[in-house]
Amino acid sequence: MNKHAPLGIDLAGVQAGRLAPADYAREFADCEAPLTAHQAVTEADRCHYCYDAPCSQACPADIDVPGFIHRVAQNNTRGAAELILKANVLGGICSRVCPTENLCQQACVRNAQDGKPLNIALLQRFATDQFFADGGKPLFVRAPATGKRVAVVGAGPAGLAVAHQLAVAGHEVDMFDASPKAGGLNEYGLARYKVGEDFASKEVAWLLSVGGIHFHPQTRLGLDVQLNTLREEYDAVFLGLGLAAVNDASLGSAEPTGVMDAVDFIARLRQSTDLSQLPVGRNVVVIGGGMTAIDAAVQAKKLGARDVTLVYRRGAESMKASPKEQAFAKDNGVTLRYWSAPLAYEQQNNQVTGVTFSVMAQSDTGLADSGERYTLAADWVLKAIGQAYDPAPAGAAITLKQGRILTNEQGQTSLPGVWAGGDCCFGGLDLTVDAVRQGKIAAVSIAQALSVATSHADFAGEHAHG
């Protein structure tokens, strides 16, 4: 009997230290081994170096894919990394987490020829890993100081991309984030087996080393700083707020102990220095169908859970998680159940003991409850039913569309002097690489606005003294 368990409940199944110390390192090692130098050159030699390459067109960050692959083939890894990082300053992390099978690799002409596209992701990782292993020598030189100041709220991919580009242009950037570390989801929201060895922090440290970016951790918009104040004190403001709110799955009653948000579980695991100290249930149920659900389910299994079941309300083809990710979960011992919607938490003395589901069916009017029920035993339930933009910190003055910030093609919001990008904005792909794309677009727009403002000020000054 667990001495911390409510009276009458045996929680021996919720334990830490299920694995031997060496097993944690093995379970959470890279899910895909990096290429060796020989393998990288061999793979690069398969490239046709297409003119107006479809792979480059499919990359949201506009990386010159044939260009960097050609440099890999020539053993010029620094040159390859330079092409990547000048287009996508987070190219290292993107090589690990970007769904390239749906983007650049899907567009590779090798697909049509032999059904085997180049492994662009692993080639990109090889180039960037070699660059950072060699000390990450500077690629960028800051322009002379402009005297302009920009506030960036949110240190995720979009905010980092904006901050870096504006700092290189000579502007001073103050970056604010509610978390202790910069990086956003790259630091707190990715599976540990996808991004290991503290790579996310190392890449951010290199990005910030360009200078001119002043990071203010644990500073929350709406509490520690106000948007109106930032608009008054800075020449421009960028909002990269992400999706801070978690969709509700209370199922009409207070949640019992043992029910938690999957994003919190993943963040805790990502920041842990000793995985053997993390508890995990014996029978874990994960509710959801996206990448967060997959990452949570697989990591629960890797921590030593006996049974992990991921339950989704529609069919496999409707899941946001790709077929590749679904297959990866199954390969790691996760059971996937489809066409099931959570109906109620089963509990005893306020401790979750299971989840009852409604079997769903597709009807002419949409998703319908078939009336059939079943219950899965669970001492842990991880909710991964999606996140939402929280409008409270920025206030009601910013126009939203379908619950997210509405911007124009340049990333401008409805508030003058305020830009936005990343997952908090309407119309994006909710991907790191797309957040970088939005950040780059906003940075160009901000720089142009600051240049125009400087020109107007100079013009007014000349006439005032003329």
So what's the pLDDT on residue 365? 87
For residues 404 and 349, membership in a common domain is answered with no
Sequence-distant contacts of 39-47: CB under 8 A, at least 24 apart: 40/72, 40/122, 40/123, 40/126, 40/127, 41/72, 41/73, 41/75, 43/118, 43/119, 43/122, 43/123, 44/69, 44/70, 44/72, 44/73, 44/118, 44/123, 45/73, 46/110, 46/118, 47/73, 47/118
For residues 109 and 51, membership in a common domain is answered with yes
For residues 241 and 252, membership in a common domain is answered with no
So what's the pLDDT on residue 345? 94
Q: Quick check: pTM over 0.95?
A: no
So what's the pLDDT on residue 5? 37
Residue 290 is assigned to a structural domain of this protein: yes
Last residue of a domain, one of 85, 100, 133: 133
What is the CATH number for 112?
Answer: 1.10.1060.10
For residues 302 and 272, membership in a common domain is answered with yes
Q: How many structural domains are present in the chain?
A: 3
Residue 105 is assigned to a structural domain of this protein: yes
For residues 372 and 254, membership in a common domain is answered with yes
C-alpha 286/C-alpha 382 separation (Å) is: 5
C-alpha 194/C-alpha 96 separation (Å) is: 6
So what's the pLDDT on residue 460? 47
Angle between helices 291-302 and 262-271 (to 10 degrees): 50
Query: What is the tens place of the pLDDT at every residue in 358-413?
Result: 999 998 888 999 999 999 999 999 999 989 999 999 999 999 999 999 999 999 99
For residues 375 and 267, membership in a common domain is answered with yes
Residue 167 is assigned to a structural domain of this protein: yes
For residues 157 and 227, membership in a common domain is answered with yes
Residue 302 is assigned to a structural domain of this protein: yes
Last residue of a domain, one of 83, 100, 133: 133
Residue 31 is assigned to a structural domain of this protein: no
For residues 160 and 111, membership in a common domain is answered with no
Q: What does 27-68 look like in DSSP terms, one character per residue?
A: HTS-SSPPPPHHHHHHHHTT----TT-HHHHH-TT---HHHH
C-alpha 312/C-alpha 278 separation (Å) is: 26
For residues 203 and 317, membership in a common domain is answered with no
Residue 126 is assigned to a structural domain of this protein: yes
For residues 265 and 350, membership in a common domain is answered with yes
What is the CATH number for 309?
Answer: 3.50.50.60
Per-residue pLDDT of the chain (466 residues; tens, 9 = 90+): 333 333 333 445 789 999 998 999 999 999 989 999 999 999 999 999 999 999 999 999 999 999 999 999 999 999 999 999 999 999 999 999 999 988 999 999 998 888 899 999 999 999 999 999 988 888 999 999 999 999 999 999 999 999 999 999 999 999 999 999 999 999 999 999 999 888 999 999 999 999 999 999 999 999 999 999 999 999 999 999 999 988 876 677 788 999 999 999 999 999 999 999 999 999 999 999 999 999 999 999 999 999 999 999 999 999 999 999 999 999 999 999 999 999 999 999 999 999 999 999 998 888 999 999 999 999 999 999 989 999 999 999 999 999 999 999 999 999 999 999 999 999 999 999 999 999 999 999 999 999 986 655 453 455 455 5
Residue 171 is assigned to a structural domain of this protein: yes
So what's the pLDDT on residue 48? 94
Last residue of a domain, one of 385, 410, 429: 385
Residue 393 is assigned to a structural domain of this protein: no
For residues 185 and 261, membership in a common domain is answered with no
> Which domain does 225 fall in, by range?
149-245+399-460
